[in-house]
Amino acid sequence: MGIAEWRGKLQRGEISARELTEATLTRLQAVEPEVHAFLEVCAERALADADRVDAARAAGEDLPPLAGIPVAIKDNLCTRGIRTTCSSRMLEHFVPPYESTVTERLWSAGAVLIGKTNLDEFAMGSSTETSAFGPSRNPWDPSRVPGGSSGGSAAAVASGSCQVALGSDTGGSIRQPASFCGVVGLKPTYGRVSRWGLVAFASSLDQVGPFSGSVADAAEVLQVIAGADPRDATCLKAPVDDYLSALEQPLAGLRVGVIQECFLEQGLDEQVKASVLAAAEVLNALGCELVDVSCPRFDDGIATYYVIAPSEASANLARYDGVKYGLRSDSGDKDDNLAVMTALTRAEGFGDEVKRRILIGTYALSAGYVDAYYKQAQRVRTLIRQDFDRAFARVDVLLSPTSPTTAFRFGAHTNDPLAMYLADLLTIPANLAGLPAISLPCGFDDQGLPIGLQLISGVLDEATLLRVAHQYEQAAAVMSQRPAAALVADALG
């Protein structure tokens, strides 16, 4: 059931928030040894949250929109009094003294914190294999990755260990794992949701968004977390639309652009291509007009991203120096100077992928290279945004696969960083342009693994994006056709 159904049962007294929370924790305990979606399970906190909801209902108070709903939080979002590690040894023992804006809004809306989820270290990765605390596994097939960097959040929702989860998306880190795990993943417009309290990877690209089992649930969460925040200078002050009321508005007359470059990629799996094109036909049957659209710079997105994102990461991660907070190496000599201590701390605290991206970014920003790499990448970023602007002059929504393939096996790309980076080939351009985008299931391959459909809309037009996605979801009913006993959670009861 979705959030609206659970809310109705809670309001009518057919179930208590404690009962729902206990059932969720029971499911989590059954599947977590196999899935490893969580770095920390907050069982006591969850039951206390649930009891407060039940007490409010018993007192006749109006329940807030997410009252009693079990929520998981990606472990790069600060939670006051609860460890926030970013899956890194560097922050293994860091306990924030403050709450991020998005989690603060969730708790004000009555949500119940189930726990903090696993991720690629500092959100740098596409498989959750770079986590310092071990990888999460895909609930559809534990021999395969759940995607990344928000793989733990996607796996938690897919395995029934929470109702919804928050992730962050820098180059596809919500949408790609949503595709791999057969759930809905939404990246809002850059600035639509506050980043205050999100541990920064690439500040001009990062955006917080929800994972859920349905588009309607994603809309429910976005309604709560969206909106201006004076603590985040990049957060937009634009009014927040009523996303839920927009879901059922008719699609007749909307134009859906099929991005031609996305279907010409050599690495695009034929089953993925066929499933996404079939989804386009479903939208056509619902009254949308399909339009072939070209975004000539789409393929340049990945090269552009892997200059800009590491450059920003190099600057953001300079704060981890062993002085202010986080890990401090004690392996040096007492007479070592500050530079030696900092070097030892960073060598011990950061994993290989984080070090690789810091080195790439530092090189791209160095004297003699900043013009050739970083500034040139910013120019190409502008061209990519202009391609999207031209496309949205003709259409309302753009359509593509979310990922070129379904979930790959553990270790498949571990020793080939370029192959790993290509997993985000189709999601990165939306981040570079700051556009909202969503991934939702549109079918299965011959291994029974889910395939993701990506939809992209114009700036701050999440209402249209969610409307198209919701009505496709209702018409296609993809999850009703899922392979029998596909999930680990199913096998464990």
Dmax (CA) for the chain in angstroms is 73
Q: How far is CA 492 from CA 43, 117, 160, 278, in A?
A: 20, 21, 11, 33
Cβ pair 310, 364 in contact under 8 A? yes
* The token pair that represents 226 in the structure block: 């969206």
- The one catalytic residue in 149, 161, 212, 314 is 149
- The one catalytic residue in 87, 88, 153, 173 is 173
Q: Which residues contact 228 (CB under 8 A, 6 or more apart)?
A: 235, 236, 237, 238
Cβ pair 307, 352 in contact under 8 A? no
Distance CA 192, CA 172 (A): 17
DSSP 464-477: HHHHHHHHHHHHH-
Cβ pair 349, 88 in contact under 8 A? yes
- The one catalytic residue in 16, 74, 87, 275 is 74
The CB density around residue 228, as the number of other CB atoms within 10 Å, is 14
Which residue blocks in 267-351 are alpha helix, DSSP H?
270-285, 301-316, 338-349
Cβ pair 373, 106 in contact under 8 A? no
Which strands make up the sheet holding 397-401, listed edge to edge?
38-41, 112-117, 70-74, 164-169, 207-212, 184-187, 437-444, 450-457, 397-401, 255-259, 289-293
Q: Is 179 considered catalytic here?
A: no
Q: Is 74 considered catalytic here?
A: yes
Distance CA 193, CA 361 (A): 26
The CB density around residue 462, as the number of other CB atoms within 10 Å, is 28
Distance CA 443, CA 452 (A): 7
* Residue showing tokens 């395969």: 144
Among all residues, which ones are annotated catalytic?
74, 149, 173
